[in-house]
Amino acid sequence: MREFKQLTPYREALEMMLNDIKEIEEIEELPLDDALGRVLAEDVISLIDLPPFDRSAVDGYAVRAEDTFQAREYSPVELEVIDEITAGMESKKEVSNGKAVKLMTGNKMPKGANAVIEQEKVKREGNKIYVLRPVAPGQNVAFKGEDVKKGEVVLKKGQILRPQDLGLLKGIGIKRVTVKRRPKVGIIVTGDELIEEPDEEALNEGKILESNSAMLKALIRQYFGESIFYGVIPDDEELIGATLERAKCECDLVLITGGSAFGEKDYAHKFVNLLFHGTTIKPGRPIGYGERIFVMSGYPAAVFAQFHLYVKYALAKLSGANYKPTKVKARLKEKVPSSLGRHEFVKVYYENGEAVPIKKKGSGIMSALVESNAYLEIPEDSEGYKEGEEVWVVLY
């Protein structure tokens, strides 16, 4: 096996890759109900004020605040109730000196009124109320546009749509949103040793059940994309070349696993004009990238690290998503040594501010992935962290 002459530092390779990847231009228009998790393709500007009018923030009496300034518990101010409305109604009466309108939370403020007194804070007798304390102008009023102003950008291009975003959009009268098309990501799994179906005899002879496709399909879905699986391809130079060519035409991004090193049967890099091949990450060092193709390891734990360190950022760039990994402070329960010169991807289990490193070694170990729920990155210039040290972990 030829060794990598030089490993490209993690961040340098990341930047090269991200500079090469272009945001997808195609957009789709979707009803709100289908837009959860999708990426906004343009700024959304509100065409209305929210609230669309000054409205009451409580159930109570709309009054002129000035009328209440003299109100004291021992000398209440008497006001006349000239109208009573319920939800969704509008009072046509004007509140002048000494008058009040009974209304409910959300009702439009009647003309003349500039404050609302909560109903439990007055005494009611017939069509009179007795105000015991003054209210300030504006008190208990939600003003027109105080939530959202007409013409205001409420959500920016690149927003990954969440439940509250969809609620706001519905609340300002938007029924359909323009989102980016999902990136199409091809998955090619290579390796003579791999089988897709459990087969005891084959397993005994040294075959291995392929597992990268299931993991990658789900990761791609989690990170804004949709996957096309090209199957498990044997280590056949021609077949791999043809499959790569097809996938490149049909997809925005291609992930080919296995054959990323320089073994006799590592063909993938022969077909791709690689921008880099071999970076300082550990595990996953043999990763290569060029022409919208990631040449990845065969081992699931290495593939997983390569996905989180490189591929997810490629997917965010492609889909125009304003994505940042969630960084969380955690106290390390055990020391984590690291080799100088390697950008280590350390699987941890995070809970309530503590991170337990998952000690199982080896890029073939899948149970370690399952036990972890976050990762810690240790850059090239660090020899690792001590027990009890505070570190940043990224939640999966």
Residues 249-308 that bind a copy of itself (CB under 8 A): 261, 263-265, 298-300, 304
| β-bridge pairing 253-257 and 184-190 | parallel
Out of 205, 237, 250, 387, point to the residue binding a copy of itself (CB under 8 A): 205
Residue 337, token pair as written in the block: 């040594």
- Residue 148 vs 290, nearer CB to a copy of itself: 148
76 scored as a contact of a copy of itself (CB under 8 A): no
- Residue 290 vs 316, nearer CB to a copy of itself: 316
Tell me the C-alpha distance between 63 and 113, whole Å. Answer: 5
Using CB atoms within 10 Å of the CB of residue 326, give its burial: 0 to 12 exposed, 13 to 18 middle, 19+ buried.
exposed
- Smallest gap from residue 32 Cβ to a copy of itself (A): 5
- Smallest gap from residue 196 Cβ to a copy of itself (A): 9
Out of 28, 42, 193, 236, point to the residue binding a copy of itself (CB under 8 A): 193
- Smallest gap from residue 56 Cβ to a copy of itself (A): 10
- Smallest gap from residue 25 Cβ to a copy of itself (A): 26
- Residue 59 vs 344, nearer CB to a copy of itself: 59
Here's the x/- map for a copy of itself, 102-141, by CB under 8 A: it reads as: --xxxxx----------xx---------------------
57 scored as a contact of a copy of itself (CB under 8 A): yes
- Smallest gap from residue 96 Cβ to a copy of itself (A): 20
| β-bridge pairing 208-209 and 194-195 | parallel
Out of 136, 153, 218, 239, point to the residue binding a copy of itself (CB under 8 A): 218
184 scored as a contact of a copy of itself (CB under 8 A): no
Tell me the C-alpha distance between 87 and 105, whole Å. Answer: 7
Out of 137, 167, 231, 341, point to the residue binding a copy of itself (CB under 8 A): 167
324 scored as a contact of a copy of itself (CB under 8 A): yes
The alpha carbon of 157 is separated from its chain's Cα centroid by a whole number of angstroms, namely 14
Tell me which stretch binds a copy of itself (CB under 8 A): 71-79, 218-226, 273-281, 335-343: 218-226
Hey, which residues between 86 and 105 contact a copy of itself (CB under 8 A)? 86-90, 104-105
In sequence order, the 6+-apart residues with CB closer than 8 A to the CB of 147 are 50, 51
